[in-house]
Chains A and B, each alone.
Chain A
Amino acid sequence: MNLPSHSSDHEDTEVRTLSNEARAIIDASTRGPVLLFLGSSIFWLVIGSLLKLLADWQLTIPALMDCAALFTYGRTEPAQSNVMIYGWASTAAFGTGLWVTARLSRIPLLHSKLLISAGIIWNLGVMLGTAGILIGDGNAIPGLDFPGYASPILLIAYSLIATWIIITLNYREPGPLYVSQWFLFAGFLCFPWLYATANVLLVWNPIQASAQGPIACWFLENLTNLWLAPVAIGTIFYIVPKVISRPIASPSLSVLGFWTLIVFASWTGLSNLVGGPVPAWMMSAGVAASIMAIIPVLSIVLNLHLTLHGNYAAMSWSPTLRFTVFGLYGFLFSGVLATLLALPAFNAVLQFSDVIAGASLLSLYGFVSMTFFGAIYYIVPRLINAEWPCVQLIRWHFWFALSGLLLAFSCLLLGGLLQGFSQYDVASTFRSSIEFVAPFRLMTALSTGLLVLAHLSFALLFVLMLLKTGKSQSGPALLNEPTENSLETLAV
């Protein structure tokens, strides 16, 4: 890996400021499509978490709604996870990615009306795919359940969106690329590659099932590692320096984090198939890559920690920073957990336990969702020139989300450990593994209820915001009064 010289250090690490007029023109061009993407992502977030609530309760009460084929666990579970990935996280990634790209490229989006149609097509695709899963057309491939008639719609909408991102990056105002732009570019390149490969080989014209295992693992793991994660990290690299008005601490760590993420994280999928029906070298490569994948996690988090150092206090009043920093530490913990789970000793015991569900909750919710929440709190006021109307709803959103996440994760972790050891122990019956984990699953289902409350508060807040009830407010919506010794001008 060659580290480039840093003759242009200053420009590389700092988000350059724009004049107010230029900013207004850019924001006017992104307003329609970005609000459409963010608004529909919040809609899917609510739908997805309601489906998740149902699925989680069904693990405690199996008879719940088993009279309707539409709502049996085998359909609500894939429906909720695909709605969360494609409806919520990916749609929020489009909105955030477009906005950050336009701001950093310092040019307005051209013909942004076409992007609105892309957004509508994407949402129709998600709707059709979700309905397809519920009526029983799902593919039964985790993360790739949308039936073969819905995925082409998503790819068509996606190619429009990605074209805009890449055109905007290419015609940017001349200057170096900022670290956020590397990550966004990587994410927007890898997604179509992943999604098209997986659909061609596993759904549209499936290859022999003997070869499907590695491909399904490669797809599912990279959907997070090389699509959602890069967009979320790129967003954190934009928002943190903006909110605290400080440049990124270390350009070298940025370069290290970026390339090691792409090189190592792309191979980690096979650590989920240790001992399974795949060639031995693939398992070894997966385990080795998962261990190496701790490097990008640590270098990215360390870099942002050094940037934030001394400014963590701003989390107490800035909702943007509060969610974003929790997202950053969600990235740290989910990265460490993924590495631990790949170690053969842990893997043999925990591979099929609830700990795996906890790990994916931590990465999809603790990291990706928290980051996009922060981004939405930052972006929307700038698009509609109004402040968030109700601080109480922001508090509810944050505390319900955080407590729901921590509680659900702890239950899945503890219950999953008991379940895993019971499944591993030759003397223990399968029945005891079910009975050990049952009370923890009940607690998980209850904490999913907290997440639903968080998302309802957030959705209500967003609707109030669109109705511009906060217009009369004089200053930004702060969670607490900034402390007196803080001299920074804050962008909330």
Chain B
Amino acid sequence: MNKLPLLFTGILIAFGASWLGLVAYPVSNLGHLQPLDDEDTAGYFPPSVSGLAVAGQKVYASAGCVYCHSQQVRLDPTSTDIAKKLGVRQTVPRDYIREKTAFLGKRRIGQDLSNVGARISDANALHQYLYEPATVTPWGKMPSYRYLYKTTKVVSQPSADAIQGLKGPHAPPAGYEVIPTEDAKALVAYLLSLNKNYPLPESPEPTAK
């Protein structure tokens, strides 16, 4: 312990072991997963997502959604994630191959979003929730993402994009409408694409109890 080179070698070996196991191993074994063929529909699992949804991942990262929302359904029966209907099966590495960053999350201040697209299919409902969460769920802790929307004056006829059904304190006054920005549209497309209800052989659905 009195020679710097010896100390250096010791640290290199000890810490290098964890680097090999937890960095090099995943890079070589999990870093090149391919989607699987689906014999019934001639599609792929996980299915490919739209370009807009891919752009939405950037908005999801930029808004810091991951600090309140996890995206992982844990193993059954150790956890109760599946019993609580966060998903029909455990999420596995292959589920994330369409993502740029794995938004696994550390806290569930809000709901898990692994399968939010399976629970909600209405884009307007998501836009409304992002715009005025406190009106939809007064008990929730989500801030409003009004900065992703523009309130504009209705010119001649209402825009097809305008959010319907806003009724909170930030609802547009008569003659005005709330239009999602490109970022908001991308974010909602991404959220709608989050649906892992396709089968993967490595993650069978647990049998009903």
**A residues within 8 Å of B by Cβ?**
4, 8, 12, 58-59, 62-64, 66-69, 72-75, 77-78, 136-142, 169-170, 176-177, 182, 185-186, 189-190, 193, 197, 201-202, 206-218, 222, 226, 255, 258-259, 262-263, 266-267, 269-270, 272-279, 282, 285, 344, 348, 351-354, 356-357, 423-426, 430-431, 433-435
Contacts and interface: CB of A to CB of B under 8 A. Distances in A.
B33 interface: yes
A202 B101 contact: yes
A282 B100 contact: no
B15 A226 contact: yes
B64 A138 contact: yes
Interface in B24-49: 25-27, 29-33
Contacts of A72: 63-64, 143, 145, 147
Contacts of B153: none
A63 B34 CA distance: 42
A101 B72 CA distance: 44
A247 to B, nearest CB: 16
A275 B78 CA distance: 7
B11 A189 contact: yes
Contacts, number: 244
A211 B27 contact: yes
Given A62-B143, A266-B17, A277-B90, 17 more contacts: A4-B1, A59-B141, A74-B143, A185-B7, A207-B27, A208-B31, A209-B96, A210-B97, A213-B102, A259-B10, A266-B15, A275-B79, A354-B107, A423-B108, A426-B83, A433-B108, A434-B139
B144 A63 contact: yes
Contacts of A69: 147
B171 interface: no
A491 to B, nearest CB: 26
Nearest to B66: A140
A354 B81 CA distance: 18
User: Chain B at the A interface: mostly helix, strand, loop or mixed?
Assistant: loop
A62 B110 CA distance: 12
A167 to B, nearest CB: 11
B91 interface: yes
Contacts of A177: 1-4, 7
A182 B102 contact: no
A62 B168 CA distance: 15
Nearest to A179: B1
Contact of A201 (B23, B75, B90): B23
A212 B102 contact: yes
A426 B86 CA distance: 11
Interface residues of B, number: 77
A176 B2 contact: yes
Interface string B97-114: 111111111111101000
Q: Which of A270, A272, A357, A430 has the most CB of B within 10 A?
A: A430
Nearest to A176: B2
Given A73-B64, A255-B1, A272 B27 contact: no
B129 interface: no
B143 A73 contact: yes
Contact of B22 (A270, A277, A425): A270
Nearest to B30: A211
Contacts of B21: 267, 282, 285
A201 B27 contact: yes
A144 to B, nearest CB: 10
28 contacts: A58-B143, A59-B109, A62-B140, A62-B143, A62-B144, A66-B146, A75-B64, A136-B63, A140-B67, A177-B7, A185-B8, A185-B11, A186-B15, A189-B12, A189-B15, A190-B15, A206-B100, A208-B31, A208-B32, A209-B97, A210-B31, A210-B93, A211-B26, A211-B27, A211-B29, A214-B26, A282-B22, A435-B139
A274 B74 contact: yes
B166 interface: no
Contacts of A206: 100-101
Contacts of A189: 8, 11-12, 15
B67 A74 contact: yes
B123 interface: no
B53 to A, nearest CB: 14
A212 B23 contact: no
